[in-house]
Structure 1
Amino acid sequence: MDTSFGAESSRRDDALEPTTISSYTVAIARALEASGVDSSRIFRAFGIPKVTSSDPLARLPTTTMTRLYRACVDETNNPYFGLLVSKYIHLSHLHALGYALVASSTLMDYCRRLERYFRLVSQVAKVSVLEEDDKVLLRVDYLADISGETEDAFFGFLLYSMRLLYKPEFNPLRLELHRAMPHEGGMPYEALFRIPVIFSQANGLVVFAKRDMTQLLTGDCPELAQVNDNIIIGYLAKLDKSDVITGVTQKIIEFLPNGDCTRDRVASALCMSPTKLQLKLSQRGTHFQQLLDDTRKELACSYLRQASRPVTEVTFLLGFSDTSNFTRAFKRWTGLSPTDFRQQA
């Protein structure tokens, strides 16, 4: 069967409904095989090819995923099939986002990446991270109707991957799911998450203790995380061709090192006039200078966490003419000098 189906499906269906990265189906296939079911037979029935790469531009529509999950539950007679799938989702299935998550400095850093870049993996939900006193809340607002198995797989994967990167005994404080509790009960959820689970809520929500979220992870590698962040932004620009903010951010990152990152140049690179660019950004509640500042700040913090980069190199990469200009801007963003920030980090 032609394995280009996923990319073609993306081009046909992107404008019609949300999509999910097709490499996610690798975990579904492995869960089927572990249940004694021939995954090839199930996939053929839905016209889904065997996935051989994690190309984030190869996508599957949400309705296809929902029908696939329904068939999997029927075939396996397992109402907790989504939880089983979560065991087989590998971070590499998420392409550059997976590698960036592995290289995150802390679990808070991990969650912020999910918040910024989750749509690379799936367009069915928006992830938000909130801080309340000594807690960190990760909320999932669903933008389309999804199966309960999809929600189960996401939150199960979230916990499995966090335990892998941090420590096996790590637990959340609270978990709320949008899905209804299966008729068979909630015991498998409590066994996995090690806390009571609340079902039938408006959104998905998981609450963590902030002290756990700020511990340095053993895989901490700001250089690797930054490289993959840039790759993600490039793919998002292709995936969200109508998203002007993603397009502008990508061009800012591209043009900053040569010191010629102006609104006019970015507009020209996006094949529009500066006036049209300004209008499109204002419709999204922002403007070019704000995006330039935000991008520079995020990159500056990432670069300064990379001990091998001298401040002079960071100054150049961010398009500043000299270190004094960069230092003034960084103090305005963070209240700290670059040197003080690096020492604290």
Structure 2
Amino acid sequence: MARKAQMHTAALAQALAGDLIENGYDIDAIMRRCSFDATILEAQSPVVKFSDSLRFFELAAKLTKNDLMGLKMGMTHDIRHLGLVCYVGLASPNLAGFLANYGRYVKVINGLLNVDVSHLYDKGAFYWSYDVSPTLTRRQYVETTCASFLHTLRKNTHASLTPRLVRFHHNRSRHLEAFDAYFGGRVEFGAETDGIEFELSDLEIPLKTADRTLLKVLMSYADKVLEDMGQQMPDLIVEVERAIADQLATGAATLNNVAASIGMSPRTLSRKLAAEGTTFFQLLEELRKSLSKSYLRDSDLGLAEISFLMGYSGLSSFNDAFKRWTGNSPGQFRAT
């Protein structure tokens, strides 16, 4: 079966590149660590690897020395430049219609983005996740998209629209007050998934852009696009990494358990990973290393808690592994 495409509509990366250049940053410095280049600025419908967009947003935050770059960008950019999926949403009659249709057609712009609207009408919930390696940092990108998503909804309903709850899967220990001020409701970091929950009464808020005739035309076209895209399978390594991450804290992230969770025998999984140039143990180690760094850098969790989340039996085992990976103890890494 075909693997899920790694490309996505890169309108946000294009907008970010334009913002950086407008503010005087050198184009070579911006693009040096990306596989795309300055031609993205001129593309009418830019498409790049999703992993490159995620890295670009993290790079931009470091380049500008602005940990709130993603949030600030999202507060002033709407998502209409994403194209079809947004316009289908905006032609819907109300907020519920926007959220439901956005979730239905989001694969048009990003085959790696999963939206869950199964609790939209009983909890006002709109959740999302990405079929990408847990080792890929996506904090700035997610904060941008979440803020711009709400900015667009406020612009097309009313400025006081306030979610009951905003959830971020990643951790953050600094500048929390900026998120509280912008979103208005409760904001959680380190949540099970990314998402926004609205009051049920808000779902009936009408959209200023509602157009039933246009909606019918756009939905027909979007259905055809999804049909042409077909059903694709996720990348094997990403699938294994996500399965490992799901089982780390329980201590169950073994080859046998992970293989069973994705419907393979351990022998078959090992053979397929070897064909990809890696092993189960290498993926487990790299994931633990990446997640440990993220927890130490972006959360206030204690070392014992992080050790547990990484599936170690004790803190000494975690300390030994971290020193092997980085040359420093977890405490030294956090202090730098």
TM-score bin, normalised by smaller chain: 0.5 to 0.7
- Residues in 2 aligned to 1:99 and 1:180: alpha-carbon distance in whole angstroms: 32
Q: CA deviation at 1:50?
A: 2.4
Q: How far apart, CA to CA, are the structure 1 residues paired with 2:98 and 2:6?
A: 24
Supply the RMSD in Å over aligned alpha carbons.
Answer: 2.6
- Offset at residue 79 of structure 1 (A): 1.1
Specify which of 197, 202, 207 is matched with residue 212 of structure 1. Answer: 202
Which residue of structure 2 aligns with residue 91 of structure 1? 79
Number of aligned residue pairs: give it.
227
Match of 1:24 in 2: 12
Q: Normalising by structure 1, what TM-score?
A: 0.59
* Structure-1 separation of matches of 2:219 and 2:121: 29
1:155 is matched with 146
Whether the aligned pair in 2 keeps the contact of 1:86 and 1:152 (CA below 8 Å) is yes
Q: CA deviation at 1:17?
A: 5.4
Residue equivalent to 2:176: 186
Task: Return 227-236 or 184-193, whichever deviates more.
Answer: 227-236
User: Which of 117, 121, 141 does residue 105 from structure 2 map onto?
Assistant: 117
Aligned counterpart for 2:189 among listed residues 199, 204, 210: 199
**Alignment-derived partner of residue 230 in structure 1:** 220
Report deviation, 1:179: 1.0
Question: Measured at CA, do residues 78 and 93 of structure 1 come closer, stay the same or move farther in structure 2, by a change above 3 Å?
Answer: same
> Cα–Cα, structure 1 residues 136 and 20, in superposed 2: closer, same or farther, change >3 Å?
same
Question: In 1, Cα distance between the equivalents of 2:232 and 2:5?
Answer: 16
Alignment map for 1:29-178 (pairs within 5 Å): 29-33=17-21, 35-39=23-27, 41-43=29-31, 46=34, 47-48=36-37, 49-55=39-45, 58-131=46-119, 135-145=123-133, 146=136, 147-178=138-169
**Alpha carbons 1:54, 1:92 under 8 Å: kept:** no
1:55-87 deviation line (CA, Å, top 9, x unaligned) = 3xx522122112212210111001122112323
Seq. identity, %: 17
Give 1:111's aligned amino acid: L
Supply the AA of the counterpart residue of 1:228.
Answer: L
Alpha-carbon shift at residue 140 of structure 1 (Å): 1.1
TM-score by length of 2: 0.61
